[in-house]
Chain A
Amino acid sequence: MSDKLERTHLYEWHNQHGDVIPFAGWEMPVRYSDIREEHLAVREKVGIFDTTHMFRFFISGPDAEVFLQLLTTNNVSKLGVNDGHYSTCLNEQGGTHDDLMLYRIGEEEYIWVTNAVNGPKIFKHMQTHAKKYDVKIENRSREVVMIAVQGPKALSLLNKITSIDVNKFSRFTCNPVSIKGYNCYLCRTGYTGEDGGEILLLDSPYDETGKKRATKFWEMLLEEGAEFGVKPCGLGARDSTRLEAGFVLYGHELDEETSPIEARIPYAVKFKVEPHYIGYDVVKSHKKEGVPKTRIGLEMIDRGIPREGYPIFFNKSKIGETTSGGLSPILGKGIALAYVEPDIVKVDDVVIIDIRGRERKARVVMWPFYDSDKYGSTRKE
């Protein structure tokens, strides 16, 4: 890519403490120490991630709700003030422009958090459709820093640095809070499978003052989190934790040719909505009549680590390909997400993955890949 890469407010810190790599047009830390150690910090203690490379659009106005319902697949009218939900934004063919988090922060005001790689596309898409509506769309990605705090100790850390009891905020809510004097929104969401939050640090312009402020905030999280075993985590652990949780990643499990029904994220898609969103008829038919392909999880039986793009065979016929794969540090085994022809394999069936010319057995499993009694946000402590 010849375009200059973007940097978040925390770039200098990342570059001093970690390995910075290009990702989706950004220079981001892939690791600070060891991806596996960072991964385990998230599963066993708490990890913090700079996710400022994602885009934050603020959408407001009398038509905000109806406009967002035209563009997104979850039920926007069900969002109370300070509620949030996971959703998708589709094209006319039911393929996915992006997956997103939508938070309602006022009667007529919402925050749309979208993937770094899709930010410009989504902004354009919004502007194209906003013309008929009384709605204001602001890209505030550059003045709002975003930091995810994830893991079984995440709420302990967040409680320590806020004057309110964050446990009273239920999952998926988004509330204004003051964290050590910094104005923030605390979203009770994340992308690791663990409990915790995503902090939107407001009033952080992309200038020297804003960068210093954001870095101080980040360092405060590390200092206050030391007693809980906090680790800064890079994109490597972000990818491995989301994979182990079975979450889709745009460009891998979602793209312009894949519907959210094929991706098996039904909780992002509602049908009793008005107006019908773009792509509604296609996803409805996928839901009622069936899908051309479907997402599955795979856990290795034989040795080997599956990666993206490996062919999958069942009864000697090729039935699909992996879209993401890697080692699950919790299982100590290779795991993968894959798309296959529908109605051929079910959970516990054994398939063959062609790992660079080596035929290896894997079992079809449901995500999350870890035991959800022991790990993740529903763990029994």
Chain B
Amino acid sequence: MTESKVIDGLRYSKEHEWAKEEDGLIVVGISDYAQESIHEITFIEVSEAGTEVEAGGECGLIESMKASSSIYSPVAGEIVEVNEELEVAPEIVNEDPYGKGWLFKIKPTNKDADLDALMDSSAYSEYIESL
């Protein structure tokens, strides 16, 4: 596997989601390492806007040709927007996991503590090295 890209300034979960604060909301996606491990993404489904999730709670599915993986929210709150482009073109997550391939936005209820509990880019880089 080629070396996975890790972006500075994002927070990362052990389940390979990233979280980024933007206009009071948290944008969530999956890391480059995750999309490489999943390979050809064929289908993405995220719980609809309005759904309340816990930090670490399951809130969607990513399917590849070979397997099904769960999406976990790295922070608690209410899902306020889902990336609808992924419904027709889920491969965007393979192509641009940190940009156009974002999954959903969340209105956080416990923002600071939840973000603190995640890893920064160097800790996450070390974590994926160890896997």
Count A interface residues, CB 8 Å. Answer: 20
Q: Is the pair B61, A327 in contact by a Cβ cutoff of 8 Å?
A: no
Whole-angstrom distance between the alpha carbons of A329 and B39 in the complex?
15
Q: Is the pair B61, A356 in contact by a Cβ cutoff of 8 Å?
A: yes
Q: Is the pair A327, B63 in contact by a Cβ cutoff of 8 Å?
A: yes
Query: Which residues in B have their C-beta under 8 angstroms from that of A303?
Result: 43, 45, 87
Most buried by A among B42, B63, B66, B70: B66
Query: Which residues in A have their C-beta under 8 angstroms from that of B64?
Result: 35
Q: Which residue of B lies closest to A235 (CB)?
A: B66
Q: Is the pair B43, A35 in contact by a Cβ cutoff of 8 Å?
A: no
Q: Is the pair A35, B65 in contact by a Cβ cutoff of 8 Å?
A: yes
The answer, yes or no, to whether B122 is at the interface (CB within 8 Å) is no
The answer, yes or no, to whether B51 is at the interface (CB within 8 Å) is no
Whole-angstrom distance between the alpha carbons of A372 and B61 in the complex?
31
Q: Tell me the residues in window 9-64 of chain B with beta carbons closer than 8 Å to chain A beta carbons.
A: 39-40, 42-43, 45, 61, 63-64
Q: Is the pair A327, B45 in contact by a Cβ cutoff of 8 Å?
A: no
Q: Is the pair B66, A236 in contact by a Cβ cutoff of 8 Å?
A: yes
Whole-angstrom distance between the alpha carbons of A240 and B42 in the complex?
13
Q: Is the pair B68, A307 in contact by a Cβ cutoff of 8 Å?
A: yes
Most buried by B among A30, A34, A329: A34
Distance in Å from the Cβ of B38 to the closest Cβ of chain A?
11
Whole-angstrom distance between the alpha carbons of A321 and B68 in the complex?
17
The answer, yes or no, to whether A36 is at the interface (CB within 8 Å) is yes
Whole-angstrom distance between the alpha carbons of A334 and B68 in the complex?
12
Whole-angstrom distance between the alpha carbons of A358 and B63 in the complex?
15
The answer, yes or no, to whether A305 is at the interface (CB within 8 Å) is yes
Distance in Å from the Cβ of A91 to the closest Cβ of chain B?
31
Whole-angstrom distance between the alpha carbons of A240 and B40 in the complex?
13
Query: Which residues in B have their C-beta under 8 angstroms from that of A355?
Result: 61
- The 8 A CB mask of A329-363 against B (1 = contact, 0 = none) is 10000100000000000000000000110100000
Whole-angstrom distance between the alpha carbons of A239 and B43 in the complex?
18
Q: Is the pair B40, A305 in contact by a Cβ cutoff of 8 Å?
A: no
- Of A31, A36, A239, A358, the residue contacting B42 (CB under 8 A) is A36
Given contacts A327-B63, A356-B61, contact A305 B39 (CB under 8 A): no
Query: Which residues in B have their C-beta under 8 angstroms from that of A239?
Result: 66
- Pull 21 A–B residue pairs with CB atoms less than 8 Å apart, ordered by A: A30-B66, A34-B40, A35-B40, A35-B64, A35-B65, A36-B42, A36-B65, A39-B65, A236-B65, A239-B66, A240-B65, A303-B43, A303-B45, A303-B87, A305-B42, A305-B61, A307-B68, A326-B65, A327-B42, A329-B65, A356-B68
3 cross-chain pairs, A with B, having the tightest CB-CB distances, nearest first? A35-B65, A305-B63, A327-B42
**A residues apposed to B, CB below 8 Å:** 30-31, 34-36, 39, 236, 239-240, 303-305, 307, 326-327, 329, 334, 355-356, 358
**B residues apposed to A, CB below 8 Å:** 39-40, 42-43, 45, 61, 63-66, 68, 70, 87
Assuming A31-B39, A240-B65, what are 14 further A-B pairs, CB within 8 angstroms? Answer: A34-B39, A35-B39, A35-B64, A36-B40, A239-B66, A303-B43, A304-B43, A305-B42, A305-B68, A326-B66, A327-B42, A327-B43, A334-B43, A355-B61
